[in-house]
Amino acid sequence: MFSFAAPWAFALLPLPFVVYWIAPPYRETTRSIRIPFFRHVAKAAAVEPKSGSIVPSRARFQSIVVTLIWLLLVAALARPEKLGDPVIVENSARDVVLALDISGSMDQRDFQTPDGTPKQRLAAVKDVLRGFIAERQGDRMALIIFGTRAFVQAPFTEDMNSLNGFLDQTAVGMAGPNTALGDAIGLGIRTFEASEVDQRLMIVLSDGADTSSRMTPVNASAIAADKGVVIYTIGVGNPEASGEDRVDLDALKEIATRTGGEYFFADDEAALVETYQRIEELNPRVVETQSYRPRTSLAHYPLALVLVLILISATGLHVTQHRRGSI
C-alpha cells in the first residue's frame, strides 16, 4: 500500500504562482543613448519604436523541466512511503518470580514418581518446573534460589530456554544448608521493582521452616501485599518431621492468605504437576496486543529524478548557448 506521511505538503504546490503574483519581474529605468537618426534606423528596420522593458522568457522545454522539478520536490516533502502488511505483537502483562528452596533437606529421596519410584525432591521439582516454564512463552520470569541466603539465579527474561538452563545449574546446598524463606520473599519484592506490569505473581516452593532469615516470612508477605505482589506457596516437605526438616505449613498458608494467593501441598510428582496447573487456572495470562505496519520511505526516488532533470536541463542550456555562440 502506498501513502504519504505528510500530505499537507501538497498545499505548497501553488506557491510559485503566489510568489509571481506578489513579486512580478523586476523592472527599472536606465539611461539610454539618444541618436539623432533613431527614427530613420527604426524605419529602415521596419520596427515600430516604443517604451518598455525586456523580460527574458524561458523556452518551453525549460518551463516544463522547472514545473516537473517543483512537483517532484513537493512530492518528496510529502514523504511518500510504502506500507507493509500489519504486524501484531503480543506482550505479556504478567511477571512471574519463582522462588525455589534448595536447602539441604531438598536432597531427600521421598518424592514418588507416577510409577512409584522414589526420587530426589529437587530433581522432581525441577522436572515439573521445566514443563511449567516451557508453557510460559511470552511471560517474563525470574528465578530466585534460597538456602541459608537468597540469590537471584536468573533475572526477568522472556527467554524460557535460558531460564531452564539456569534451573539445570541449580543444585542442593549451593545457597547453604538452612532455609531463609523470609529473605527469599524480600528479594522477590526487590526483583519486582524493575517490573512495570500490574499482574505480579510469585511462586514460593519450600520444604522446611524458616531458620535464617533477617525478616520473618509473615512480615515479608505483608510488604508484598502492599506492593501488589500475589504469592502462591507450595509445601513439599514432611510436616511431621522435626527441626529444619519440618515444613511450616502454617507459615506458608499465612503468606499466601496475606497476599491474596493460595497455599498448596504436594507430596509427590503428580500432585506437584496439578499444583502448577491450578496456579495457571487461577492466574490466566494477560496479554497486551499491539499492531503496527512497517513503513519504507520512498522520498529518495523523486529527489533522484530532480537531480536527473537538473542535469538534463543544464546540458540542454549549455548546448543552446554553444550553438548561439557559433552563429
What is the pTM assigned to this prediction?
A: 0.62
The predicted pLDDT at position 211 comes to 81
Q: Is 208 in the same domain as 78? A: no
Task: For cell 541466603, name the residue.
Answer: 149
| Closest to 300 (Cα-Cα) out of 50, 37, 75 | 75
Q: Is 237 in the same domain as 215? A: yes
Q: Is 220 in the same domain as 240? A: yes
Q: Is 130 in the same domain as 235? A: yes
C-alpha 94/C-alpha 287 separation (Å) is: 8
Q: Is residue 212 part of a domain?
A: yes
Q: Is residue 30 part of a domain?
A: no
Q: Is 225 in the same domain as 314? A: no
Q: Is 75 in the same domain as 100? A: no
Q: Which residues pair with 292 in a beta bridge?
A: 87
Q: Is 165 in the same domain as 246? A: yes
Residue 59 belongs to domain spanning: 2-22+35-84+298-326
Q: Is 240 in the same domain as 318? A: no
Q: Is 71 in the same domain as 102? A: no
Q: Is residue 29 part of a domain?
A: no
- SS (HEC) of the chain: CEEECCHHHHHHCCHHHHHHHHCCCCCCCCCCCCCCCHHHHHHHCCCCCCCCCCCCCCCHHHHHHHHHHHHHHHHHHCCEEEECCCEEEEEECEEEEEEEECCHHHHCCCEECCCCCEECHHHHHHHHHHHHHHCCCCCEEEEEEECCCEEEEEEEECCHHHHHHHHHCCCCCCCCCCCCHHHHHHHHHHHHHHCCCCEEEEEEEECCCCCCCCCCHHHHHHHHHHCCEEEEEEECCECCCCHHHECCHHHHHHHHHHHCCCEEECCCHHHHHHHHHHHHHHCCCCEEEEEECCEEECCHHHHHHHHHHHHHHHHHHHHHHHHHHHC
Number of structural domains found in the chain: 2
Task: For cell 552563429, name the residue.
Answer: 327
Q: Is 45 in the same domain as 110? A: no
Q: Is residue 236 part of a domain?
A: yes
What tens-digit pLDDT sequence spans the chain (327 residues)?
778 888 888 898 888 888 878 877 666 666 666 777 777 777 777 777 666 555 556 667 777 888 888 899 998 898 888 887 777 656 666 789 999 999 888 888 877 777 778 888 888 889 888 888 888 777 789 999 998 999 999 999 888 889 999 999 999 888 888 889 999 999 999 999 878 787 889 999 988 778 888 888 889 999 999 999 999 999 887 777 666 667 778 888 999 999 999 999 887 788 888 888 888 887 766 666 666 678 888 888 989 998 988 888 777 655 555 454 444
Q: Is residue 28 part of a domain?
A: no
The predicted pLDDT at position 327 comes to 44
Q: Is residue 279 part of a domain?
A: yes
The predicted pLDDT at position 56 comes to 59
Q: Is residue 196 part of a domain?
A: yes
Strands 199-206 and 229-235: parallel
Q: Is 77 in the same domain as 166? A: no
Describe the crossing of helices 300-326 and 60-77 by its angle, rounded to 10 degrees. Answer: 160
Q: Is 71 in the same domain as 142? A: no
| Closest to 227 (Cα-Cα) out of 191, 181, 189, 283 | 189
Contact, 315 vs 62, CB < 8 A?
no
Q: Is residue 7 part of a domain?
A: yes
- What CATH number corresponds to the domain at position 96? 3.40.50.410
The predicted pLDDT at position 223 comes to 93
